[in-house]
A = this chain, B = another copy of it.
């Protein structure tokens, strides 16, 4: 088994197991056995359990660092927000474990939180704040709204939908076919509110 095989196997398997049970909920022996490699390979390639977890988290949050690209492909603030929501849904569909690491690090931070998670999330929030401020200067949004509170509200709408999936499976259809309707729905509330 070549270098890359072993490394890749470990990262892939560890992603699954760490996501399922958290950093402290999995042992290096479980990971090694599930990956079909020798226990010592974790220390050999990642210099320990923490190193492996860091590699997993780094890979997971790489996608979050690409969100600022939205700035370059769209000009209209409201459409930028829609792109953000759309990218968020696509991200969670493509990577079912990201949200777990996301919230797990928020509630029980490891050393990776400061170095990887916090900068990544902060970058996204800052982009959204800038977008709203831009919309304000173009007289597009209501002037009495606070930029930070407003964009956190938008981010909350879409993220909470996925976070609550384990308890709402019997209440609504979480299939990807409904994603487009969900996106429209959230943008609709965000833009126009619920009052008749």
- Interface residues, chain A, CB within 8 Å of chain B? 20-25, 78, 99-100, 103-104, 106-109, 113, 117-118, 121-122, 125-126, 129, 139-146, 148-150, 152-153, 155-161, 163-164, 166-168, 170-172, 181-182, 185-186, 188-196
* Separation of A107 and B160 alpha carbons in the complex (Å): 12
Minimum C-beta distance from A13 to chain B (A) = 17
Chain multiplicity (copies): 2
* Separation of A152 and B158 alpha carbons in the complex (Å): 9
Partner of A172, one of B148, B156, B160: B148
Minimum C-beta distance from A193 to chain B (A) = 4
Partner of A194, one of B103, B139, B150: B150
Partner of A182, one of B117, B144, B149, B185: B149
Given contacts A108-B22, A121-B167, A122-B171, contact A142 B190 (CB under 8 A): no
* Separation of A25 and B20 alpha carbons in the complex (Å): 15
Residue contact B109 to A185, C-beta cutoff 8 Å? no
Residue contact B139 to A196, C-beta cutoff 8 Å? yes
- Chain B residue numbers with a CB within 8 Å of A160 are 152-153, 155-157, 159-160
- Chain B residue numbers with a CB within 8 Å of A100 are 107-108
Residue contact A152 to B161, C-beta cutoff 8 Å? yes
Given contacts A122-B167, A168-B152, A171-B126, contact A145 B24 (CB under 8 A): no
Given contacts A186-B149, A193-B190, contact A107 B103 (CB under 8 A): yes
- Chain B residue numbers with a CB within 8 Å of A143 are 196
Minimum C-beta distance from A130 to chain B (A) = 12
Minimum C-beta distance from A30 to chain B (A) = 13
- Chain B residue numbers with a CB within 8 Å of A113 are 166
Minimum C-beta distance from A133 to chain B (A) = 13
